A and B are shown apart, each in its own frame.
Chain A
Amino acid sequence: MVVSCKLSGSHVKLWRNRKQKLVEQQRQLRPKQQQLAQSSSKVAGKWRKKLLIIFVLLGVIISIWLFWHLNKDINLRRRETLTNMCDERARMLQDQFNVSMNHVHALAILVSTFHHGKHPSAIDQKTFGEYTERTAFERPLTSGVAYALKVLHSEREQFEKEHGWTIKKMETEDQTLVQDCILENLDPSPIQDEYAPVIFSQETVSHIVSIDMMSGKEDRENILRARASGKGVLTSPFKLLKSNHLGVVLTFAVYNADLPPDATPEQRIEATVGYLGASYDVPSLVKKLLHQLASKQTIVVNVYDTTNASAPINMYGTNVTDTGLLHISNLDFGDPARKHEMHCRFKQKPPPPWTAITASVGVLVITLLVGHIFHAAINRIAKVEGDYRQMMELKVRAEAADVAKSQFLATVSHEIRTPMNGVLGMLKMLMDSGLDANQQDYAETAHASGKDLISLINEVLDQAKIESGRLELEAVPFDLHAALDNVLSLFSGKSHEKGIELAVYISDRVPEFVIGDPGRFRQIITNLVGNSIKFTHDKGHIFVSVHLADEVVGPPDLRDEVLRQSLNIVRDSSNNSYNTLSGFPVVNRWKSWEKFKKLSCTDSMEETNIIKLLVTVEDTGVGIPSEAQSRIFMPFMQADSSTSRTYGGTGIGLSISKRLVDLMGGEIGFESEPGTGSTFSFTVAFTKGETSLLDTKQQPHDPAGSEFQGLRALVVDCRSIRAEVTRYHLQRLRISVDKTFSLISACSYLSNNYDPSASTSVAMVLVDKEVWDKEAGLVFHHMLKELRPNGTVEVQEKRPKIFLLDTSLSSAERNELKSAGFVDNVLMKPLRLSVLISCFQEVFGIGKRKQANRGKPLTLGNLLREKRILVVDDNAVNRRVAEFALKKYGAIVTCVDSGKAALLMLKPPHNFDACFMDLQMPEMDGFKATQEIRRMESKVNERIKSGEVSIEMFANVAYWHTPILAMTADVIQANNEECMKCGMDGYVAKPFEEDQLYSAVAHFFESG
């Protein structure tokens, strides 16, 4: 269990950590781990079940044992009780019997002493009856006593005569009808050797006087045994005369003389003169005894005569049913020939052992309950584990589905683009086929929609790529300033159209070169600026500023001018405008990055070469409704449907931006206020770029515009931030800048500082359109003229040039201003390095010496001049055009017509600075050729590095990497990524467009 948890835990960590790169690997790894976890949990489940069964069995056994144990205990105690009670009763019975017997014995001695020992006898029937009657309390158990005399047959006649009655014989063996026994009815005893007629008797048994005891079988035996042993003997039980009870007769022999203790039986028989008998009523004896004892109800007592072991005679007690427990106590009534036993039983069957039952049942119930609970818990665990596994499986599937979805999207969007190109091409053809105005309109609409669709698809493709984790960021050194210039030039047309001021500013503390992904960085900014442009209408500005994150976090004195001002926007009450780029209010930009978690990179001290940039895009657009602000970064979500209708677009751009920012290790946030505008901020982490990291073959930093170095300029602008932006751009040309806020102050500044002979005099004055008006301009113009001390041409050349800065002047207006001579040229905002350079070159005439071309081609010329370039294309026409286009910019062009030929040409050492490669060629296409070239180069590089070959053999170049640019007509199809994959450095669209050629080439030749 624990193991599986840990496993899955660590697995999750692993998964998170390397989510990006190890997707594939993880996917293979995961099922294994899952199986492992699964099997271990299964084993655990089995163990748990076994333990449960053992536990339940144990519980059952314990409860059974408990029952058995308690029951045994109870039985033991019961038996002990019974034994105690039985023994007690037996002992008492025996004692009482013995007491009675002793008394009878004493009576025998009395008779012997007073009847036979005296002459004449002191006892007659009357005396005997009285005495016995009065001493009956001594013999509570005897129903009566009688004395029979031993009479020999020879003495019978005399005896009968003496007593006046004949010896009678017991009538029957059956002695039941004792009541009816009448002496007169009895027959005289038959003639026998000996007789034992009763002569004395207690009143209760007076009816037996004169009956010969020897004639009763039981009595005769008793008499014989008694006179032989000299001890009291007992008969077996029989029904007593008169009372219908079972009884025994105790007989003692009476001797006529003292006998020695060791007398023989013959002597005893000889000395016998009579017999004393006492009848015992056993049932009443026992009953009486039991009455004396408490708890007589609980047990049943039976007394048996067991002289004949095979047929015991029940002397007392009913024949009770067997109640299980039986205790037998021996009774000794003093007659060794007779054996008596007392049998004791409980009256009731033993009650069920309730304590044992309840205790054991309790234990059982508890066990079962606990077992049930555990069982439920185990089931629950198993279920939860099962669910967990299922969830994991589902999660895996969902993730796989997600990836599959993204891949599907990527594939589909890729596939859609191909036919879309056909559609667009056909539409274009349709538009060219002489349609009437209406049809043309329809076709154009369709074409525009198709283009929108393509751009949407590109965005979706990006999104899908990011989602499926296939988007990998480059890490190449690039020029931040140039990158931002690029973005600005994209939007310059739109900003002109809308009359929006567009500006970029990069803090001085931001290094010029950083290492990162320029394309994606540009994409983020492009998305944000594009968004801003879309939602800003004919007023206000869009301001892109780049600062170090540390500037914001650090103390205020570290912040530069622009940041300080934009953080403390004050309202200028005089003309009801704000201290912003265009004077319109903006939202508090501080709030847009307030929520960033890791704005500062000070937490990781060792990563000192990581720089964190904070880019802010501020606009004065319609703003985002507050209810929509939460979902602004969700794909395909727009502020609301109505906005969507008004402004179009897919709403995917911001989502992509957010993901890109995430990929770059930054954060994005915004602050917006409907009606005022929005400010988006994001941070990105780049590595500090080192110039030395750049390709060794590339020229040192191109001194584009270096001819302006050291000049001085005056910026006239009433808005300090805008002036600061202008200053930033001029400083990029190493022009030192002074600022004034109005034309009047500019005049005084100029007159104070004007010294045509000094090299440091102001060479140019840049005036913003806002402070420019005709009259002031006129005054200013005149003032400048007056500055001229004399009208010599030389000085004319030295006069400060005046530039007007504006966003939305038409070319007609521009020409008017220029021809009027008020200004030397008009600089169209947004300001960019290239625009500044070309404009300055035109005015100062520096450019004329170099190339007669207008605008940017000059810079392109700078880049390409004297560069040796190899053009590879199988198409003769294309080859010629490319050759010519490049030659135009001063490059030295060599052409070959196949990939193979290119391989030969580019085998190091060679002196080409770059290669333009067509992609689709027979035999060996551009991709393959490039791969081959790269392979060749890396081989050479290795050999140089290992010292195998001397560097001299390879033209003193230690590292060979010829920049290869793809030429393609199909920009969409051959995307950047594909080119990069096979080792290309970039691509240009065919036919060459200056802009694109410039930006592609600038990578290698300028940014070096």
Chain B
Amino acid sequence: MDVGQLQRQFTDYTASLFREGFLDDQFTQLQKLQDENNPDFVFEVVSLFFDDSEKLVNNMAKALEQQTVEFKQVDAHVHQFKGSSSSVGAHRVKNVCVTFRNFCEQQNIEGCKRCLQQLRHEYSLLKSKLETLFRLEQQIIAAGGSIPMVE
């Protein structure tokens, strides 16, 4: 596969991620921040996000399984998650977090659990998508091309 094709594929894929709402402007902002001094910035941040997220999701699940659910605790986790997801531009994850927080506020355990499910789902979806994206990126770099900017 030549570089041009890869680049086109990369652009299309990124565009689809934006279109389907997985990502938003913030992701573009991150990409803009990346320069020759920090070539792996986006990757670095996103992996940080992944680590953080897994920890947080596990914490949430644990907190929700408790006999008496500490909604404040859950809410704190969701808040964290929302913060980091909005930082990387994980749009859909962030939106689920917003809903999740509302349920926490209402102390609606059913809703919380449903949201956690949804969050897991969205998160794994995003993770696989981003992994694909990074793979494409690496392929382009390996092929000696540059990452095209998606405006």
Whether the pair B87, A881 counts as a contact (CB closer than 8 A) is yes
Among listed B7-15, B59-67, B91-99, B132-140, interface-contacting one: B91-99
Q: What are the residues of chain A within 8 A of B91 when measuring CB–CB?
A: 432
Closest to B95 in A: A429
Whether the pair B83, A422 counts as a contact (CB closer than 8 A) is no
Interface residues of B in 37-84 (CB under 8 A from A): 38, 41, 44-45, 48-49, 51-52, 76, 79-80, 82-84
Whether the pair A429, B99 counts as a contact (CB closer than 8 A) is yes
Whether the pair B26, A991 counts as a contact (CB closer than 8 A) is yes
CB distance from B80 to the nearest CB of A (A): 5
Complex CA–CA separation, A350 to B27 (angstroms) = 126
Closest to A426 in B: B99
Q: What are the residues of chain A within 8 A of B87 when measuring CB–CB?
A: 875, 877-878, 880-882, 990-991
Q: What are the residues of chain B within 8 A of A429 when measuring CB–CB?
A: 92, 95-96, 98-99
CB distance from B40 to the nearest CB of A (A): 11
**Is A969 part of the contact surface with B, judged by Cβ < 8 Å?**
yes
Whether the pair A991, B89 counts as a contact (CB closer than 8 A) is yes
The B contact surface, by secondary structure, is helix
**Is A885 part of the contact surface with B, judged by Cβ < 8 Å?**
yes
Whether the pair A880, B45 counts as a contact (CB closer than 8 A) is yes
* Contact among A419, A425, A431, A884 for B33, CB-based, below 8 A: A884
CB distance from A383 to the nearest CB of B (A): 56
CB distance from A134 to the nearest CB of B (A): 153
**Is B21 part of the contact surface with A, judged by Cβ < 8 Å?**
yes
Closest to B75 in A: A920
**Is B131 part of the contact surface with A, judged by Cβ < 8 Å?**
no
Whether the pair B52, A877 counts as a contact (CB closer than 8 A) is yes
Closest to A428 in B: B95
Whether the pair B38, A875 counts as a contact (CB closer than 8 A) is no
CB distance from A916 to the nearest CB of B (A): 13
Whether the pair A878, B29 counts as a contact (CB closer than 8 A) is no
Whether the pair B79, A432 counts as a contact (CB closer than 8 A) is no
Q: What are the residues of chain A within 8 A of B51 when measuring CB–CB?
A: 876
Q: What are the residues of chain B within 8 A of A991 when measuring CB–CB?
A: 26, 29, 86-87, 89
Whether the pair B52, A875 counts as a contact (CB closer than 8 A) is yes
Q: What are the residues of chain A within 8 A of B21 when measuring CB–CB?
A: 431-433
**Is A434 part of the contact surface with B, judged by Cβ < 8 Å?**
yes
Q: What are the residues of chain B within 8 A of A969 when measuring CB–CB?
A: 82-83, 86
Whether the pair B79, A421 counts as a contact (CB closer than 8 A) is no
**Is B126 part of the contact surface with A, judged by Cβ < 8 Å?**
no
Whether the pair B45, A884 counts as a contact (CB closer than 8 A) is yes
Whether the pair A880, B98 counts as a contact (CB closer than 8 A) is no
Instruction: Write out, one digit per residue, whether chain A residues 420-446 have a CB within 8 A of any chain B CB (1) or not (0).
Output: 011001101101111000000000000
Instruction: Write out, one digit per residue, whether chain A residues 846-882 have a CB within 8 A of any chain B CB (1) or not (0).
Output: 0000000000000000000000000001111110111
Complex CA–CA separation, A434 to B45 (angstroms) = 28
**Is B30 part of the contact surface with A, judged by Cβ < 8 Å?**
yes
**Is B116 part of the contact surface with A, judged by Cβ < 8 Å?**
no
**Is A992 part of the contact surface with B, judged by Cβ < 8 Å?**
yes
Closest to B41 in A: A884
Q: What are the residues of chain B within 8 A of A873 when measuring CB–CB?
A: 83
- Residue with the highest number of chain B CB atoms closer than 10 Å, among A419, A874, A991: A991
Whether the pair B48, A422 counts as a contact (CB closer than 8 A) is no
Interface residues in B, total, Cβ within 8 A: 32
* Contact among B20, B33, B82, B86 for A888, CB-based, below 8 A: B33
* Contact among B30, B45, B82, B99 for A422, CB-based, below 8 A: B99
Complex CA–CA separation, A885 to B41 (angstroms) = 11
**Is B102 part of the contact surface with A, judged by Cβ < 8 Å?**
yes
Q: What are the residues of chain A within 8 A of B83 when measuring CB–CB?
A: 873, 875, 877-878, 918, 920, 969, 990
CB distance from B93 to the nearest CB of A (A): 10
**Is A922 part of the contact surface with B, judged by Cβ < 8 Å?**
yes
Complex CA–CA separation, A288 to B116 (angstroms) = 146
Whether the pair A881, B95 counts as a contact (CB closer than 8 A) is no
* Contact among A425, A431, A885 for B98, CB-based, below 8 A: A425
Whether the pair B89, A425 counts as a contact (CB closer than 8 A) is no
Q: Which of the four size classes fits the interface of chain A?
A: 20 to 34
* Contact among A433, A880, A922 for B48, CB-based, below 8 A: A880
Interface residues of A in 922-980 (CB under 8 A from B): 922, 969
**Is B88 part of the contact surface with A, judged by Cβ < 8 Å?**
yes
Instruction: Write out, one digit per residue, whether chain A residues 376-419 have a CB within 8 A of any chain B CB (1) or not (0).
Output: 00000000000000000000000000000000000000000001
Whether the pair B44, A880 counts as a contact (CB closer than 8 A) is yes
Q: What are the residues of chain A within 8 A of B92 when measuring CB–CB?
A: 429, 432
Closest to A429 in B: B95
CB distance from B17 to the nearest CB of A (A): 12
Q: What are the residues of chain B within 8 A of A993 when measuring CB–CB?
A: 29
Closest to A425 in B: B98
Closest to B81 in A: A875
Q: What are the residues of chain B within 8 A of A882 when measuring CB–CB?
A: 87
Q: What are the residues of chain B within 8 A of A426 when measuring CB–CB?
A: 95, 98-99
Known interface pairs A432-B20, A969-B82. Does A877 touch B88 (Cβ–Cβ under 8 Å)? yes
Complex CA–CA separation, A307 to B98 (angstroms) = 138
Q: What are the residues of chain A within 8 A of B89 when measuring CB–CB?
A: 991
Complex CA–CA separation, A875 to B52 (angstroms) = 8
Complex CA–CA separation, A176 to B12 (angstroms) = 172
Q: What are the residues of chain B within 8 A of A421 when measuring CB–CB?
A: 98
Q: What are the residues of chain B within 8 A of A881 when measuring CB–CB?
A: 30, 33, 45, 87-88
Known interface pairs A425-B95, A429-B96, A881-B45. Does A992 touch B86 (Cβ–Cβ under 8 Å)? no
Q: What are the residues of chain A within 8 A of B44 when measuring CB–CB?
A: 880
Complex CA–CA separation, A918 to B80 (angstroms) = 11
Complex CA–CA separation, A480 to B118 (angstroms) = 49
Q: What are the residues of chain A within 8 A of B38 when measuring CB–CB?
A: 884
Instruction: Write out, one digit per residue, whether chain B residues 93-117 have a CB within 8 A of any chain A CB (1) or not (0).
Output: 0011011001000000000000000
Q: What are the residues of chain A within 8 A of B49 when measuring CB–CB?
A: 877
Q: What are the residues of chain A within 8 A of B45 when measuring CB–CB?
A: 877, 880-881, 884
Closest to B55 in A: A876
Closest to A875 in B: B83
Q: What are the residues of chain B within 8 A of A877 when measuring CB–CB?
A: 45, 48-49, 52, 83-84, 87-88
Complex CA–CA separation, A990 to B84 (angstroms) = 10
Complex CA–CA separation, A429 to B52 (angstroms) = 23
Known interface pairs A881-B88, A990-B86. Does A874 touch B80 (Cβ–Cβ under 8 Å)? yes
Complex CA–CA separation, A993 to B29 (angstroms) = 8
Whether the pair A922, B26 counts as a contact (CB closer than 8 A) is no
- Residue with the highest number of chain B CB atoms closer than 10 Å, among A432, A876, A877, A990: A877
Closest to B90 in A: A877
Q: What are the residues of chain A within 8 A of B29 when measuring CB–CB?
A: 885, 991-993
- Residue with the highest number of chain A CB atoms closer than 10 Å, among B45, B52, B92, B95: B95
Q: What are the residues of chain B within 8 A of A875 when measuring CB–CB?
A: 52, 80, 83-84, 87
Q: What are the residues of chain A within 8 A of B76 when measuring CB–CB?
A: 922
Q: What are the residues of chain B within 8 A of A422 when measuring CB–CB?
A: 98-99, 102
Complex CA–CA separation, A434 to B102 (angstroms) = 23
Whether the pair A876, B33 counts as a contact (CB closer than 8 A) is no
CB distance from A425 to the nearest CB of B (A): 3
CB distance from A266 to the nearest CB of B (A): 154
CB distance from A448 to the nearest CB of B (A): 17
Q: What are the residues of chain B within 8 A of A434 when measuring CB–CB?
A: 20
Complex CA–CA separation, A991 to B88 (angstroms) = 9
Q: Known pairs A876-B52, A990-B87. 5 more at Cβ < 8 A?
A: A419-B102, A873-B83, A877-B88, A880-B87, A993-B29
List 22 A-B residue pairs with CB atoms under 8 Å apart, sorted by A's residue number: A425-B99, A426-B99, A429-B95, A432-B21, A434-B20, A874-B80, A876-B51, A877-B45, A877-B48, A877-B52, A877-B88, A880-B44, A880-B87, A882-B87, A884-B33, A888-B35, A920-B83, A922-B76, A969-B82, A991-B29, A991-B86, A992-B29
Interface residues of B, Cβ cutoff 8 Å to A: 20-21, 26, 29-30, 33, 35, 38, 41, 44-45, 48-49, 51-52, 76, 79-80, 82-84, 86-89, 91-92, 95-96, 98-99, 102
Interface residues of A, Cβ cutoff 8 Å to B: 419, 421-422, 425-426, 428-429, 431-434, 873-878, 880-882, 884-885, 888, 918, 920, 922, 969, 990-993
Q: Which 5 A-B pairs have the closest CB atoms?
A: A432-B21, A425-B98, A877-B84, A429-B95, A422-B102
